[in-house]
Structure 1
Amino acid sequence: MALKRPVDVLVLDSDSEDERSTPRSAPSRSNTASRGPGAPQSTSLDDDEDSELARAIALSLREAESSKAVSTPASFQSRIPDKVITDRAELERARLERQRQREAQGGSALQTVKVASTSRVGTKRPRVATLADVRDPSPPSTSSQAFASTSSAASKHAQRFWSGSVKRVANSYVPDADSFTFRDLIGSPSTLKAAVVSAFCLDPHWVVSHFQDETPLLLVMPRPRGDASPALAVCSIKENTYRAIPDEKTADAWQGVMHTKLLIYYHDDYCRIVIPTANAVPYDWDLIDNAFYVHDFPYSPSDEADPFKNPTHCQFSRAFFQVCYTLNVPKRFIADSRDYDFSSAKDVRLVHSTQGRFVPKDQWNKGGGMASLANAVKAFNFAPGGKWEIEATGSSIGSYYPAWLSQMLGACSGIHPASYFRSGRNNTVPPGSPAPAVGQPVNLPIKIVFPTETEITGSFGGAPGGGTLFCPVKRWEEPNFPRHLFHRGESKRSRVAAHTKIILALHKFDRGSLVPPKHEGWMYLGSHNFTPAAWGKLQNGSNGPQIVLNNYELGVVLPIRADSAEELERKASELVTYRRPLQRYSPDERPWQQERFLSTD
């Protein structure tokens, strides 16, 4: 049995459907005191623009009591205890007690509020750039902790990603000139008109420290247990700051989470949309390996008041609006998008999961998950025939039942679950991906990428640095768990624990096939872990077939096309954040499992 060690820094970010996930944050580096209650008082929101968005705001305020001031939720401000807490209910009770104590001492108030308009020119440019392998580092020096100088920060503020790009989050253990800090991505404060920051774990004090008082800022986060404040409210940590909470749509809300990670920055001359794998806490943007997709859209003023009628819309931007709608983002943080040109994102697909149970089948696309993924893959019009080989990495390991793995492989091949799933025998998996007989191992072209114990204990952060990675011992030791699918999850940043969430799919053709081979594939990057909680479970209920999604999630799917098999492999290896080719676990290796190393005493 491994020697257990106490935990120094931990962010709980499991999305396992078997656990009651409660949002936690890493210790905040900011001790900024809350500002006094100087926010606008309760009032109605403007309703002179898009009626659909207005209805979304009305729904988000339906439980608000304008005469009642509720204290700011504190679950994202408190320091995580120095032990791993497996009893999440007990930890939540302790958090609520700390919150009550803070409220007794006078906390900052949350109030329903009228969100002020955020209004203000640009150039056009027309494929997705990739990230290169990071060199093996020497042990980090003290001076390297602050590698981003003022001049380099200014240089990054000037960078534009008109065609979209995959980039790395800056890391103090392995500094490099190409990665970005949270502040780098915001851009110049002098041109910033408004911002939206959404995350599962969000440290409000740390986030708002990056923005000027006059900048309208919206924080989108899960509702802490016991919090009864309005879904849309003012957050008086900083002037012009608001908080939105998406609706909880599961029978037991604590069986799912608001896991969507999204950054939106409206500038005078461009709009930047960022989809990171990192939470909005300093730990994720400094000490573990994370990545993001960033796309800039040029300013293109329009006379059309309705942002839904922007003539440059493509699937990416339409889905973006729908995601904002389901997250209860106020229309004043969406309206400015009518004045930006989204046409450069036509080769990118946005995929989502919306928490809830969706039935009948014509509602599955609204829920998303594996239905959204299948639509994205199909839209790329990949060649017929062949087979798809999948590599999936994330920070949380799910319940990998044979049928679910077959269903996910189908979605990764562009097969919509509604095309085959129904009641009756042999109707639960897509054609060509049969589930094995009971007791037999899964034989599917899927590789699950997850770090081993030695990879984490040998990392710069040691065992405590694995506090954001979840693979329960009980699940791993289940008799039919597909342990043979697991491969080492070594980050290109040697000795840095990885928190990235990626699916890589490559289209392969047998030698001698009658179908000419196409060298193509795609990569997913976003908040979805490779779990049923994130991508959904297909079920036959009393009302018919349904898809059940525990979480709110968001990510992008990027096509990969090449002229040869060698070029395809090279491009794939450049895009992903882990080292390829993958190595299967040896017989004596096992995945990193917190409970074997991190003490709860």
Structure 2
Amino acid sequence: MGDLKRKRDVEDAAEAGPVNRPVVNGGASAEGSAGSAQASFSLNAMVDRVELERARLERAAKKVKVDSSGSVRSAVGNPAANAPTPSIANQPASTQSSSTAYSMRYPHGHIGMTQVDGPADPRYTRFEELVDRHHLQRGIFSAFQIDDQWLMAKVNRTTEKYIVRPYGMEILEPPPMQYHPGYNMYWVFPPRRRKYCCMHVKLLVLWYPGFLRVAVPSANLVNHDWVQLENVFWAQDFPLSPTPRPENATSQFALDLTNILTLLEIPSTITALLAHADFSLAAVNLVFSKPGTHAGDDLHSYGMLRLAHCVRELHIPHLSPSESTLTAATSSLGDTTLSWLTQMLRAACGKDPHRHTSHEDEDTALTHVRILFPTKETVLSSTYGAPGAGTITFQRRYWEKHHYPQRCFRDSISTRQGVLSHAKMMVCLPATVAETGFKLPGTPQFASSTTTLQPPTQTAPIGWYYCGSHNTTLSAWGKLAPNRSGTAIDINNWELGVLVPVDADGVVVGGDGHGGGGLRAVWPYVMPAREYAGREPWGS
């Protein structure tokens, strides 16, 4: 737990400045040290610890050793294990196994919360329920923090794995993809693009016999996030066919997912396999942030402007800054300004945030934006206290700024007593609903593959819901910047989340190509959220 205290707000690195700390892989903190040593930083330490954990879980561990290059090799010595297996990488997963013991769990999509310490509760989800090691054939795993020992104990050694991870904070050009044959594992390093860039995407793409599972969680690949903190996730299972599906050429979800994985440097031989999945029932819009300054054709592809574009495409009536409330739950904060919150509110309503903001606009944002972040009191009274809040970060120097929008803040209190939240989610609803009629369920509403579902509701949505990796920061969503060609958006982080249209009860509304049926949003916070009323935010 002590290692978690070293986590700081690198997601808002543009405001926080340079940070040089070890990366979390085997229990260190999240912000990367420089140099090529980082690329193999955890393999030597990982080997023995992984085997001990695997022995405990399976009683079938094999000893391994590390060669001089840092690659893990089997102690038995298998030359074939030192090379990738193209035959696997170029076939649809559905042809790799005849097993029928594992069926789709989320055919209609599911928005859920992670299980925390305590008795098992079928309403909540453990990592092992998303990632079933006994049937998983291939997987892409992406996160900001990765504990290799923990992850390798939960995925079979022979399973083909692509681990998308950050490199050193000071390294502008990460190395190419690295293959570690002892674990049939590839380490993938997305481009940094700028000095203070954070690879913050949480994503699971999992090939099982006969179907593909795509999940976007807010949790990192560490035990703390899946056991002690509350996190949210969206997941959906998509049938696989032996041959590519021609409709994927026009499926927006398929195109977006392929583009995102390509930008993250996943090999084309793997992204090509997405063509075998049937994405016709994809129930969400993908909202992506990519580091850099974006203008022209890319202006509405990323960050805040991607959010505005998706909201417009949902055709939600009556969304306007003066009549809607944007509520954002976040686990990290930076140097937020009222002007920026005003732009976010306009984007949340599908409006053009480029327009110059007036004092009247900013007054509207003070009234219609709510930021849920825990107070010091809430953290200290939680089950794990301050040590459990190591990944909930805020620097007090921002809070003390004269123009910091303190009036927008509300206390983040989970409906599960004593639990702290690492979830990132937003909901935009009519102000009257947000203040007096908030009905989004506090616990997940699960529809399994055997559940009889009602057809997707075709009533008009009244708002939208988001969950994913974006914190409520400029680095995550971007800030508008002048450009020679007009408007541009400047973004520091790699981020990913999902957006769905909802009715007053949180039910995802069908239509416009979205499956909808059975999918429901979840909002795990006590509402209405209490005002700070003199309380202090948690932070350093």
TM-score between the two structures when normalised by the length of structure 1: 0.69
For residues 582 and 74 of structure 1, do their structure 2 counterparts lie closer, same or farther at Cα, with a shift above 3 Å needed?
A: same
Deviation at 1:497, TM superposition (A): 1.4
DSSP-derived class of the 2:350 partner = coil
Cα deviation for residue 27 of structure 1 reads: 7.6
Query: Helix, strand or coil for the counterpart of 1:18?
Result: helix
- Kindly state the Cα deviation for residue 541 of structure 1 after the two structures are TM-superposed: 3.8
- Sort the Cα spacing of 1:211 and 1:574 in 2 relative to 1 into closer, same or farther, 3 A: closer
Listed one character per residue, the Cα deviations across residues 403-441 of structure 1 (whole Å, up to 9, x for unaligned) are 211110111001244xxx2xxxxx434x997246xxxx9
Output the CA distance in 2 between the equivalents of 1:177 and 1:295. 18
Partner of 1:383: 317
Among 461, 481, 486, the alignment partner of 2:409 is 486
Partner of 1:55: none
Summarize deviations over 1:542-597 as a string: whole Å, max 9, x none. 554211100000000021124899x9xxx99961121212111112x11111x2xx
**Kept in 2: contact 1:527–1:553 (CA 8 A):** yes
Matched, 1:398 2:334: yes
Q: Bigger shift: 442-451 or 279-288?
A: 442-451
Give the 5 Å matches for 1:125-524: 158=103, 160-173=105-118, 175-187=120-132, 189-190=134-135, 192-225=136-169, 230-236=175-181, 238-250=182-194, 253=195, 255-303=196-244, 310-311=247-248, 314-345=251-282, 347-359=283-295, 361-366=296-301, 368-384=302-318, 387-417=323-353, 421=354, 427-429=355-357, 434-435=361-362, 443-508=366-431, 520-524=462-466
Q: Which amino acid aligns with 2:168?
A: P
Q: 2-side partners of 1:281 and 1:403: how far apart?
A: 35
State the Cα distance separating 1:317 from its structure 2 match: 2.2
Partner of 1:12: 7
In the TM superposition, residue 502 of structure 1 has moved relative to its aligned partner by: 0.6
In the TM superposition, residue 162 of structure 1 has moved relative to its aligned partner by: 1.0
Q: 2:480 aligns with which of 531, 538, 555?
A: 538
Distance 1:311 1:197, change over 3 A: closer
Summarize the alignment of residues 573-584 of structure 1 with structure 2, pairs less than 5 Å apart.
575-584=522-531
Deviation at 1:107, TM superposition (A): 6.3
The answer as to whether partners of 1:245 and 1:327 remain within 8 angstroms in 2 is: yes
Moved more, 481-490 or 313-322: 313-322
Quick check: 2:199–2:495 contact (8 Å CA) kept in 1?
yes
Change (3 A) 1:22 1:295: farther
**1:484 & 1:403 partners in 2: Cα distance?**
14
Query: Which SS does the other structure have where 1:334 is aligned?
Result: helix
Deviation at 1:271, TM superposition (A): 0.3
User: 2:538 matched to 1:592?
Assistant: yes
The verdict on how the C-alpha distance between 1:399 and 1:356 changes in structure 2, with shifts beyond 3 A counting, is same
1:274 maps to amino acid = A
* CA pair 532-70 structure 1, distance change in 2 beyond 3 A: closer
> What is the one-letter code of the residue matched to 2:253?
F
Q: Quick check: 1:74 aligned with 2:41?
A: yes
User: Is the Cα–Cα contact under 8 Å of residues 414 and 525 in structure 2 kept in the other structure?
Assistant: yes
Residues 392, 502 of structure 1: 8 Å contact kept? yes
Contact residue 301 and residue 338 of structure 1 kept, 8 A: no
Matched residue pairs, number? Answer: 459
Q: Is the 8 A contact 1:113 1:232 kept in 2?
A: no
Are the aligned partners of 1:70 and 1:110 in contact in 2 as well (CA < 8 Å)?
Answer: no
Distance (whole Å) between structure 1 residues aligned to residue 298 and residue 175 of structure 2? 28
SS of aligned partner of 1:197: strand
Q: Any conservation in 2 of the 1:520–1:561 contact (CA below 8 Å)?
A: yes
Instruction: Spell out, residue by residue over 1:503-559, the C-alpha distance to the aligned partner (whole angstroms, 9 max, x if none).
Output: 11103479xxxxxx9761111100000110000010114554211100000000021
Change (3 A) 1:574 1:548: closer
In structure 2, C-alpha distance between the alignment counterparts of 1:369 and 1:302, rounded to whole Å: 34
Residue 44 of structure 1 aligns with which residue? none
C-alpha RMSD over aligned residues: 3.6
| Native 8 Å contact 2:131 2:206 kept in 1 | yes
Residue 193 of structure 1 and its aligned partner are, at CA, apart by: 2.3
Quote how far apart the aligned CAs of 1:211 are: 2.0
What are the Cα deviations for residues 161-208 of structure 1, in whole angstroms up to 9, with x where unaligned? 111111111211564223222222113623x32100000111223222
* SS of aligned partner of 2:137: strand
Partner Cα separation in structure 2 for residue 393 and residue 543 of structure 1: 34
Unaligned 5+ segments in structure 2 are 29-35, 47-64, 74-81, 95-100, 434-458, 510-517
Identity %: 26
* Aligned 8 A contact 2:104 2:237 in 1: no
SS at structure 1 position matched to 2:480 = strand
* Aligned CA distance change for structure 1 residues 303 and 557 (closer, same or farther; 3 Å): closer
Instruction: Identify if the C-alpha distance between structure 1 residues 544 and 562 changes in structure 2 by more than 3 Å, giving closer, same or farther.
Output: closer
Superposed displacement of residue 374, structure 1: 0.8
Q: TM-score, normalised by structure 2?
A: 0.76
SS of alignment partner, residue 371 of structure 1? helix
Question: Which secondary structure does the structure 2 equivalent of 1:559 belong to?
Answer: strand
Q: Deviations over 1:335-361 (max 9, x none)?
A: 22211100101x4111000111113x3
Deviation, structure 1 residue 28: 3.9
Distance 1:9 1:404, change over 3 A: closer
Are the counterparts in 2 of residues 158 and 187 from structure 1 also a CA contact under 8 Å? no
- Secondary structure in 2 aligned to 1:284? helix
Amino acid across the alignment from 1:577: P
Q: Is the 8 A contact 1:527 1:554 kept in 2?
A: yes
Measured against aligned partners, the alpha-carbon deviations of 1:17-66 in whole angstroms (never above 9, x if no partner) come to 31235675668489xxxxxxxxxxxxxxxxxxxxxxxxxxxxxxxxxxxx
Q: Structure 1: which 5+ runs fail to align?
A: 1-5, 31-68, 80-102, 123-155, 422-426, 511-516, 596-601
Q: How many Å separate the matches in 2 of 1:461 and 1:109?
A: 37
Residues 76 and 188 (structure 1 numbering): CA distance in 2 closer, same or farther, change over 3 Å? closer
